[in-house]
Chain A
Amino acid sequence: MSEQKAQVKRISAAKTMKKIMAEHFHRVDEASRDPGKKVAWCTSVGPAELLQGFGFEVYYPENHAAMLGATRKATDYIPYANAAGYSPDICSYLTADVGAYLQGYTPLQDAYGIQSVPKPDVLVYNTNQCRDVQDWFMWYGRHWNVPCLGIETHRNVGPVSEAHVDSITRQLQHLAEQLEPIAGHKLDMDLFRQSVGLSRRCSELWEQVLLTGSARPSALTFFDGTIHMGPAVVLRGLPVAVEYYQQLLAELQQRVESGEGAIEGERHRLYWEGMPVWGRLRALGELFLSLRTCVVASTYCNSWIFNQLDPDDPFRSMARAYTELFIVRSDPVKEDYIADMCQRYQVDGIVYHDAKTCPNNTNSRYAMPQRLEQRTGKPYLILSGDLNDLRCWSDEQARTSIEAFVEQLEQG
Chain B
Amino acid sequence: MSFFAGVDVGSSAAKAVVIDDQARELGRGLSPSGADLSGSARRCFAAACRQAGIAEAEVERIVACGFGRDNVDFAHQRRTEIDCHARGAYHHLPRAITVVDIGGQDNKVIRIDENGRRLNFTMNRKCAAGTGAFLEEVALRLKVPLDKLAELAGQATDPSVRIGSFCTVFAMTEILSRIRAGVRVEDLARAALESVARRVLEVQSISGQVVATGGVMAHQPLMREILSQQLQAEVFVPPHAQYVGALGAALVGRR
B125 with A397: CB separation less than 8 A: yes
Q: A1-B78, A404-B80, A407-B83 are in contact. Are A397 and B106 (CB under 8 A)?
A: yes
B80 with A403: CB separation less than 8 A: yes
Of B13-21, B114-122, B149-157, B164-172, the stretch lying at the interface with chain A is: B114-122
- A1-45: contact bitstring with B at CB < 8 Å (1 yes, 0 no)? 101000000000000000000000000000000000000000000
B121 with A404: CB separation less than 8 A: yes
CA distance A93 to B125 in the complex (A): 23
Give the chain A neighbours of B81 by CB distance below 8 A. Answer: 400
A87 within 8 Å of B (CB atoms): no
Give the chain B neighbours of A382 by CB distance below 8 A. Answer: 122
Give the chain A neighbours of B126 by CB distance below 8 A. Answer: 384
B120 with A400: CB separation less than 8 A: no
A173 within 8 Å of B (CB atoms): no
Within 8 A of A (CB), among B118-167: 118-123, 125-126
A258 within 8 Å of B (CB atoms): no
A384 with B125: CB separation less than 8 A: yes
Give the chain B neighbours of A373 by CB distance below 8 A. Answer: 120
Within the complex, the shortest CB–CB distance from A114 to chain B, in Å, comes to 38
Within the complex, the shortest CB–CB distance from B166 to chain A, in Å, comes to 14
A379 with B82: CB separation less than 8 A: no
Which residue of the partner chain B has the closest CB to A401? B123
B79 with A400: CB separation less than 8 A: no
B80 with A397: CB separation less than 8 A: no
CA distance A379 to B125 in the complex (A): 19
CA distance A10 to B58 in the complex (A): 45
- B60-83: contact bitstring with A at CB < 8 Å (1 yes, 0 no)? 000000010000000000111111
Which residue of the partner chain B has the closest CB to A407? B83
CA distance A353 to B255 in the complex (A): 34
Which of B80, B83, B118, B123 has most chain A Cβ within 10 Å? B80
A396 within 8 Å of B (CB atoms): yes
Give the chain A neighbours of B80 by CB distance below 8 A. Answer: 400, 403-404, 407
- By secondary structure, the B interface counts as mixed
Q: A397-B106, A400-B67 are in contact. Are A411 and B82 (CB under 8 A)?
A: no
Which residue of the partner chain A has the closest CB to B204? A370
Q: How many residues of A contact B (CB 8 A)?
A: 17
Give the chain B neighbours of A404 by CB distance below 8 A. Answer: 80, 82-83, 121
Within 8 A of B (CB), among A160-196: none
A411 with B117: CB separation less than 8 A: yes
Within the complex, the shortest CB–CB distance from A326 to chain B, in Å, comes to 25
Give the chain A neighbours of B117 by CB distance below 8 A. Answer: 411
Which residue of the partner chain B has the closest CB to A402? B80
Which residue of the partner chain B has the closest CB to A3? B78
Which residue of the partner chain A has the closest CB to B78? A1
Q: A379-B120, A404-B121, A407-B83 are in contact. Are A396 and B78 (CB under 8 A)?
A: no
Give the chain A neighbours of B119 by CB distance below 8 A. Answer: 379
Give the chain A neighbours of B78 by CB distance below 8 A. Answer: 1, 3
B125 with A408: CB separation less than 8 A: no
A394 within 8 Å of B (CB atoms): yes
CA distance A1 to B122 in the complex (A): 20
CA distance A265 to B4 in the complex (A): 30
Within the complex, the shortest CB–CB distance from B108 to chain A, in Å, comes to 9
CA distance A411 to B116 in the complex (A): 10
Within the complex, the shortest CB–CB distance from A147 to chain B, in Å, comes to 41
Which of A380, A403, A408, A411 has most chain B Cβ within 10 Å? A408
A400 with B118: CB separation less than 8 A: no
B67 with A408: CB separation less than 8 A: no
Within the complex, the shortest CB–CB distance from A133 to chain B, in Å, comes to 26
CA distance A400 to B106 in the complex (A): 12
Q: A407-B80, A407-B82, A407-B83 are in contact. Are A400 and B123 (CB under 8 A)?
A: yes
Which residue of the partner chain A has the closest CB to B68? A396
A411 with B118: CB separation less than 8 A: yes
B82 with A397: CB separation less than 8 A: no
CA distance A408 to B80 in the complex (A): 11
Within the complex, the shortest CB–CB distance from A373 to chain B, in Å, comes to 8
CA distance A380 to B122 in the complex (A): 10
Give the chain A neighbours of B106 by CB distance below 8 A. Answer: 397
Within the complex, the shortest CB–CB distance from A355 to chain B, in Å, comes to 13
Q: Which residues of B does A touch, CB under 8 Å?
A: 67, 78-83, 106, 117-123, 125-126
Q: Which residues of A does B touch, CB under 8 Å?
A: 1, 3, 373, 379-380, 382, 384, 394, 396-397, 400-401, 403-404, 407-408, 411
7 closest residue pairs by CB, A with B: A404-B82, A404-B80, A407-B83, A397-B125, A384-B125, A403-B80, A408-B118
Known: A396-B67, A400-B82, A401-B82. 7 other contacts (CB 8 A): A397-B125, A400-B123, A401-B125, A404-B82, A407-B80, A407-B118, A408-B118
The 10 sampled A-B contact pairs (Cβ below 8 Å) are A397-B106, A397-B123, A400-B81, A401-B123, A403-B80, A404-B80, A407-B118, A408-B83, A408-B118, A408-B121
